[in-house]
Amino acid sequence: MSGHVDLRSGAMTCRLCPALGGAVLALRWGGLDLLRSVDSASNILDAAAFPLVPFANRIGNACFSFRGSDVALRADPAAFPHAHHGEGWRREWWTETAGTDHAVFAYKGGEDWAFGWPWRYLARQHVRVTHSLFSLQLEVTNLDPDRPMPLGLGWHPYFPRSAGSALSAQTRGMWVNDPSGLAIRREPTSLFSTAPVPLDLLDRLDNFFVCANPAIGVRCGSLGLLLEGQGAGFHLFAPANETWFCVEPVSHAPNAFGRGEFAETDVIQPGQTKRQGYTLRITDHPTVQGAVQ
């Protein structure tokens, strides 16, 4: 797909494709892949990362109720019969600005009636790279003149997997799924009681871990990374026999909207804007020790 936007700062390079779901196609540092990277793609599921707007993870059976109104969404083929990851990753974004090391993309939501989201909104991504840092700020404005809108945000990066891949995190619980992948209950977990945890011990997990404003250490080959985000926790997707795994910081628990669980931070008023930020930082590599970011 054409329309690439390339960013660079020092050894950090980033290729973006706004028309393909506002996706990151490649993120590299000195030729090393920080994320699973490709130079071009036509399928969003082949990208390195993509934004989650206006909700994250699944909404059970693609329906929910909000302040007395029932909302029926289109089920996503990647998680049928549930709605999955909002609509931003299935939409074309346009480029508002693009410089050497930063770019801003946008799209208007609530206009795809087949998807079924009944609120109009404007979404933006602010992307920036420095010598050893990638940062993304998601921003959503409620364009509905009269109605509050539920809103969830997240970021869905794919990391390259190797024999030494490992994670470290502090969590207060894990959501257990039913056979369709829908989170149904929260349980205590000791999975991350020691750190770092080799990814081989996390094989086949597709679960949400509870932790306010997650900070996850990610070991990928010779690189140590720190993924930080705002919100309620992160989703770990580690399928067996794949060359990648996903660690997704998000603002709300899976199917929270389907269960009718809306925190104050999950609702934006008419004209209001909500912002949420994510960073991926190189923390362990001889060349970047002490580097100014």
- Predicted confidence band of residue 290 (pLDDT cuts 50, 70, 90): very low
Task: Return the pLDDT at 292.
Answer: 36
Residue 263 resides in a domain: yes
Q: What are phi and psi of 198, to 5 degrees?
A: -60, 140
Q: pLDDT tens across 35-59, in order? A: 999 999 999 999 999 999 999 999 9
- The verdict on residue 16 lying in a domain is yes
What does the pLDDT look like over 70-128, one tens digit per residue?
A: 999 999 999 999 999 999 999 999 999 999 999 999 999 998 888 999 999 999 999 99
- What is the model's pLDDT at position 285? 61
Q: What mean pLDDT comes out for the span 18-27?
A: 98
As given in the structure block, the two tokens for residue 227 are: 């993924």
Identity at 36, one-letter amino acid code: R
Q: Reduced to 3 states, what is the DSSP secondary structure of residue 183?
A: strand
| Mean pLDDT, rounded, for 228-233 | 94
Look up the CATH number of the domain holding residue 198: 2.70.98.10
Q: How many independent structural domains does the chain possess?
A: 1
189 in a domain, yes or no?
yes
- Regarding beta strands 273-284 and 223-229, do their DSSP bridges make them parallel or antiparallel, or are they unpaired? antiparallel
Instruction: Give the model's pLDDT for residue 102.
Output: 98
Q: Does residue 87 fall inside a structural domain? A: yes
181 is in which domain, residue-wise? 5-288
pLDDT digits (tens, 9 = 90+) for 178-223: 999 999 999 999 999 888 999 999 999 999 999 999 999 999 888 8
